A and B are shown apart, each in its own frame.
Chain A
Amino acid sequence: MKENLKIQSYCRITNNSIVVNGQSVFENKAAVFPEILKLAYRQLNLNYPKFFKMDTLSRLAFLSAELLLKGSHNSNTAIVLSNRSGSLDTDLKHQQTIDSGDYPSPSIFVYTLPNIGTGEIAIRHKLRSENAFFVFEEFNAEFLQDYSSILINSAKSEQVLCGWVEVDNHNIDGFMFLAGKQGEYDLDTNIIEKLYKA
């Protein structure tokens, strides 16, 4: 029996602002890419030095998860992320070290996989759960709705931390929501689309 699933909370991170459940939690019009992530880390008083080792994509995924999971959460929370350019931002950095004849850095290379951010979230919140990283031409609300519903309806997961984490040369485009059995909004494609575009 398929339940009527809900969106419990959501957050939106762009170059200059962070909005959680429609409320602005951080804004800095002067912040240049990708500064906002560090500024927000400080303002939120997070104490997680590993954050500074992460690449921009992982920082974006990590911060979004921090904002949504800071209250209590179920340990069986799946992490399902997506974007358009995979880890291209960090791929270019690794390629530069090869091209310049320098010895490649293992600490850069490890971030040349887009799913590393799901691992960072899993470690931080001790989530030994389902993960997946998908890549689409554009934000795909239909697939995110479908896949997160499948995980909960098949009892593989209790909740799903689900979203879009895109980082390219000049822009951060992050949107994440926590899907589960309770919440204000229906887990519906049109609503996901609307919250992303808001």
Chain B
Amino acid sequence: MRKGIYISAPSVLTPLGFTMEENLSAIKRGEIGIELHRNPKMLDRPFYASLVDSENLDKSFSELANPDAFTKLEKMMILSLKKTLEMSGSNITPGSALIIATTKGNIDLLEKDAADIDRKELSQLAGVIKDFFKFQKPPVVLSNACVSGLMAVSVGKRLMENDSCNEVFIVSGDIVSAFTLSGFDAFKAYSDKPCKPYSKYRNGITLGEAAASVLISSKGDSVGSAEILGERSCNDANHISGPSRTGEGLFRAINGALEDSELGPEHIDAICAHGTATLYNDEMEAIAFDRAKLTHVPLNSLKGYYGHTTGAAGLLEAIIAIESMNENTLYPSAGMDEAGVSKPLNIISRLESKPIRHLLKTSSGFGGINTAVVFRKNSSK
């Protein structure tokens, strides 16, 4: 018999709140974290983004340690992981693994006027988190573009199945900086309004900041848990920055995750997709979902609330989607008006009750990588 591996003790830190409750009630009220910002140091014109307020962050963080001794991202990650640890009821032992999922880490330290602190390397960021919580194993940083957060869940499950560790703590996070804003702007992929996933009027991404953390373990009885049933990652082998026109990698990742779960498309009750609101990404997803016979399944993208939180996105969105499964409620896809993809998707337009037993979460990223994970409502509780 296969052993059950569970995700539990979820914690998120976003502009919609530093607790799960605040985030869920904001989503239910239709509130979004994306606002218009004016900061010439970040971009030469006003831009929409979902940013974590630094003053609030420092205020919350000062209960744990001196806010001046840590970077913004470190404070976000530490606060989030602290909550997961408390909720999990677990102690860190020599067998506890730490996975950190991020694309750019402390990238703001590359800026000329950045504080004189040398933590540009992802491994140094990992060291800070490891030391703060006194993990003993070397931390594992997963930096796999925009699938990092979701892929961390599948890596965690694999390590648990192989008995490589006792349990896995995952913390994911990314910040918005001049570095990333200017890059996506140069790609002509930055939206001039809050992003509109799958809409006919979508014209690019909106960036966002978030940290999210969970415990991956064989304990099915801890807070907010769900079983990680199946997972798979596949490369498109097509283009380093353009999504495949046939959705090949995503299609294969979804099929692999379903196969791993011993389920068919008819068993999936809800999909929390990637939906970045670029022209090509959303179209690619529609084609992949069509090929996977999943276009009838209620689907959302949470980017309309949080923006694209890059390395954190996959985990943040999986956590919110698992909460929606556990309370049998579909959350609307913010920013959606008129559908603008070539295959009809069942995009969730209003808050609605629906029994959800199996949830599919997908992410896709630069480098051509796609990840799909199937979660099952934890019936052992």
Neighbouring B residues of A84 by C-beta, 8 Å: 121, 123
Q: In the complex, which of the residues A86, A106, A153 contacts B187, with contact meaning CB atoms closer than 8 Å? A: A106
Q: Which of A30-38, A133-141, A182-190 forms contacts with chain B?
A: A133-141
- Bound together, the chains give a CA A143 to CA B367 distance in angstroms of 22
- Bound together, the chains give a CA A115 to CA B126 distance in angstroms of 18
**B132 within 8 A of partner (CB):** no
A119-157 at interface with B (beta carbon < 8 Å): 119-120, 122-123, 125-137, 140, 143, 146-147, 149-151, 153-154, 156
**B145 within 8 A of partner (CB):** yes
Neighbouring A residues of B187 by C-beta, 8 Å: 106, 109-110
**B158 within 8 A of partner (CB):** yes
B102-116 at interface with A (beta carbon < 8 Å): 103-105, 107, 110-112
Q: Which of A18-26, A41-49, A97-105, A173-181 forms contacts with chain B?
A: A97-105
Decide: A98 near B182, CB < 8 A? Known: A110-B241, A132-B144, A140-B138: yes
Contact check, A113 vs B143: say whether CB atoms are below 8 A apart: yes
Contact check, B186 vs A105: say whether CB atoms are below 8 A apart: yes
Q: How far is the CB of A69 from chain B (nearest CB, A)?
A: 13
Residues of chain B at interface, number, CB under 8 A: 54
Neighbouring A residues of B233 by C-beta, 8 Å: 130-132
Contact check, A132 vs B110: say whether CB atoms are below 8 A apart: no
**A114 within 8 A of partner (CB):** yes
Of all chain B residues, the one with the shortest Cβ separation from A53 is B240
Q: How far is the CB of A37 from chain B (nearest CB, A)?
A: 18
- Bound together, the chains give a CA A106 to CA B142 distance in angstroms of 23
Decide: A112 near B368, CB < 8 A? Known: A95-B110, A98-B182: no
Contact check, A156 vs B232: say whether CB atoms are below 8 A apart: yes
Q: How far is the CB of B110 from chain A (nearest CB, A)?
A: 4
Contact check, A115 vs B123: say whether CB atoms are below 8 A apart: no
**A12 within 8 A of partner (CB):** no
**B95 within 8 A of partner (CB):** no
Decide: A132 near B126, CB < 8 A? Known: A113-B367, A119-B366: no
Q: How far is the CB of A93 from chain B (nearest CB, A)?
A: 11
Contact check, B183 vs A132: say whether CB atoms are below 8 A apart: no
Neighbouring A residues of B164 by C-beta, 8 Å: 146, 150
Q: Mark B143-180, 1 if CB is under 8 A from A, else 0.
A: 11100000100010011011010000000000000110
Task: Identify the interface centre among A110, A128, A137: most chain B CB within 10 Å of its CB.
Answer: A128
Contact check, A136 vs B123: say whether CB atoms are below 8 A apart: yes
Contact check, B123 vs A135: say whether CB atoms are below 8 A apart: yes
- Bound together, the chains give a CA A126 to CA B240 distance in angstroms of 13
Contact check, A133 vs B234: say whether CB atoms are below 8 A apart: no
Contact check, B126 vs A116: say whether CB atoms are below 8 A apart: no
Contact check, A86 vs B178: say whether CB atoms are below 8 A apart: no
Decide: A99 near B112, CB < 8 A? Known: A94-B183, A115-B145: yes
Decide: A122 near B235, CB < 8 A? Known: A105-B186, A116-B367: yes
Of all chain A residues, the one with the shortest Cβ separation from B123 is A137
Task: Identify the interface centre among A118, A131, A134, A147: most chain B CB within 10 Å of its CB.
Answer: A131
Q: In the complex, which of the residues A110, A123, A147, A150 contacts B366, with contact meaning CB atoms closer than 8 Å? A: A110
Q: Mark B218-241, 1 if CB is under 8 A from A, else 0.
A: 000000000000001111111111
Contact check, B138 vs A112: say whether CB atoms are below 8 A apart: no
Q: How far is the CB of A151 from chain B (nearest CB, A)?
A: 8
Contact check, B158 vs A128: say whether CB atoms are below 8 A apart: no
**B369 within 8 A of partner (CB):** yes
Q: Mark A64-104, 1 if CB is under 8 A from B, else 0.
A: 00000000000000010000111010011011001100011
Decide: A154 near B158, CB < 8 A? Known: A91-B107, A134-B142: yes
Contact check, B159 vs A150: say whether CB atoms are below 8 A apart: yes
Q: How far is the CB of A4 from chain B (nearest CB, A)?
A: 16
Q: In the complex, which of the residues A91, A103, A115 contacts B179, with contact meaning CB atoms closer than 8 Å? A: A91
Q: How far is the CB of A175 from chain B (nearest CB, A)?
A: 17
Decide: A137 near B143, CB < 8 A? Known: A115-B369, A128-B252: no
5 contacts between A and B (CB under 8 A): A94-B183, A113-B145, A119-B369, A128-B234, A128-B248
Q: Lowest 5 A-B CB distances belong to which pairs? A: A119-B367, A109-B183, A135-B141, A122-B235, A104-B186
